[in-house]
Amino acid sequence: MADCKRETAVVLGAGMAGLVGAAALAEFFDHVLIFEKDELPAAPALRRGVPQGAHVHTFLGFAVQAMDTLLPGTMDALYEAGAVQIRRNQDLWFHDDIGPTRIRDVGLLTPSVTRPLLEHVTRARVLEIPNVQLCEATRVIGWHREQDNSVVGVRTIDSDGLKRSIQSDLCVDCSGRASRLPRWLEEDGLGSVPVQRMKIAMGYTSGFFKPPDQFAGDNTACLMLAVPPGKRAAYLTPVDGRLWLATMYGRGGDMAPRDAAGFIEWSRGLAHPFVYERLCQAEPASEFRTYRIPYGIWNRFDRMPAFPYGIIPMGEAVTSFNPMYGQGISLAAGQALALRDALKTGDDTRLSQTYFANSAALNDVAWSVMETFDFAHASTEGVRPHDLTQRRAIKAAIRQVALTDDDLHTLTVRVTHLLDEPSVLADANIDARLNGLLDR
């Protein structure tokens, strides 16, 4: 791959990871081909290949910045299409095991948007790039390798059964949790992929509600985390279409039912009545859909002794964590930026190593968030980090101080949104503010 002219890159999947990945590749390749197994809707609509599409999709501040770097103007396009602008944390009522966080504008704007509209707008932006082409209703069914194990092309089949071989200089796998890449690597004798796995036993139920007239123009959203031993969490947010989207998260088999009355009644079991009281005033406006995600998974391609040239995994093909924390789009966009920066070096012989190194810190922080929150629940299974008790004590102490400390509150929001690394919370001044709240 090192001596090749960068002519053709192929992307597996036209979900959010595939779209931002294509945007990153377009700067470096003459042609970028996106292969998507679904036939894509002409207007925003749920599709089979995105089974989680009916549920809340949270945007973190990192995702806003990363997407506007990769696809300038995307946030403006989302708002023009109907996305609701959320002022963090002025419009977001957040409740965890410490209680509610402060209602205070920290100068961070994020869109609240349905997944179908998000994909529709982002896809339109990507397809405005002249050298990007979308091939829908087409599956990638295999790859072509050279003797040195480098990937030099893919095999595809479309909805009419027509098979093709496509030569590529780089293949980016954004096919999600169902990615075949680990199996292909093992079947071709390239080794098994080490996996970090955490059993989170999460299930979601979601539906739309029409808010009552007194809430017209009210952009208040609410994230309600489960307070152990409680198993129930929720996200209620205004979205495009002037509707509320409510997602109920249950652990260990405790899932909200799919009928309106049962769904609303289930929300009475949340740690605070805020969501229940709002839903009681609203009118159900859709059917209710469920989705289960039993595991948080990190496919550690970066730990393989010899990863082949010519292919890069991205998005949920690599990092498929607990979606309740809203990190998925940020991770995909961050990985796209990591790939862009790796391509800028011009050293394609080390492209995968550089990409893995560039994306490691963000992936690691997101996994740590899942560990810290999810291991508080008895239903979570996996390798518990040795410093988990200390992490939780520090998190609780910081939350308490942030209730009255403006600077610390702003910093905690920025860390939550992956805009600052958690290490900024460990400086001496903050240690002094926490003095007396931590058992040392």
- The DSSP-derived string for 207-233 is EEEEPPGGGTT---EEEE---TT--EE
What proportion of the chain, given as a percentage, has pLDDT over 90? 89
- Residue 290 CB neighbours (<10 A): 17
Of 236, 307, 234, 239, the residue nearest 271 (C-alpha):
234
Of 177, 246, 166, 173, the residue nearest 205 (C-alpha):
246
Q: pLDDT tens digits for 250-296? A: 999 999 999 999 999 999 999 999 999 999 999 999 999 999 999 99
Residue 423 is predicted with a pLDDT of: 85
- Tell me which DSSP letter residue 7 carries: -
Residue 17 has pLDDT above 70, yes or no: yes
Residue 425 is predicted with a pLDDT of: 80
Residue 147 is predicted with a pLDDT of: 87
Give the span between the Cα atoms of 74 and 222, in whole angstroms. Answer: 25
This prediction has a pTM of 0.95
Contact 275, 234 (CB under 8 A): yes
Start-end of H helices in 45-144? 61-70, 74-81, 115-126
Compute the average pLDDT of residues 236-263: 97
Q: pLDDT tens digits for 302-319? A: 999 989 999 999 999 999
Residue 155 is predicted with a pLDDT of: 97
Q: pLDDT tens digits for 170-181? A: 999 999 999 999
Q: In a 3-state reduction of DSSP, which class is residue 239? A: strand
Model confidence at 387, in pLDDT bands (50, 70, 90)? very high
Model confidence at 440, in pLDDT bands (50, 70, 90)? very low
The helix (run of H) or strand (run of E) holding residue 281 is: helix 274-281
Model confidence at 1, in pLDDT bands (50, 70, 90)? very low
**How are beta strands 84-88 and 108-112 bridged, if at all?**
antiparallel
Model confidence at 3, in pLDDT bands (50, 70, 90)? very low
Residue 424 is predicted with a pLDDT of: 86
Number of H helices, E strands in the chain: 12, 19
Q: pLDDT tens digits for 97-108? A: 889 999 999 999
Of 307, 230, 306, the residue nearest 268 (C-alpha):
230
Task: Report in angstroms the alpha-carbon separations of 123 from 114, 188, 433.
Answer: 14, 33, 46
Give the span between the Cα atoms of 51 and 67, in whole angstroms. Answer: 23
Give the span between the Cα atoms of 333 and 427, in whole angstroms. Answer: 28
Q: pLDDT tens digits for 354-364? A: 999 999 999 99
Residue 428 has pLDDT above 80, yes or no: no
**How are beta strands 289-299 and 195-210 bridged, if at all?**
antiparallel
Residue 436 is predicted with a pLDDT of: 57
Residue 432 has pLDDT above 70, yes or no: no
Of 4, 7, 1, 49, the residue nearest 26 (C-alpha):
7
Give the span between the Cα atoms of 284 and 268, in whole angstroms. Answer: 17
Q: Quick one: tokens of 66?
A: 């990363």
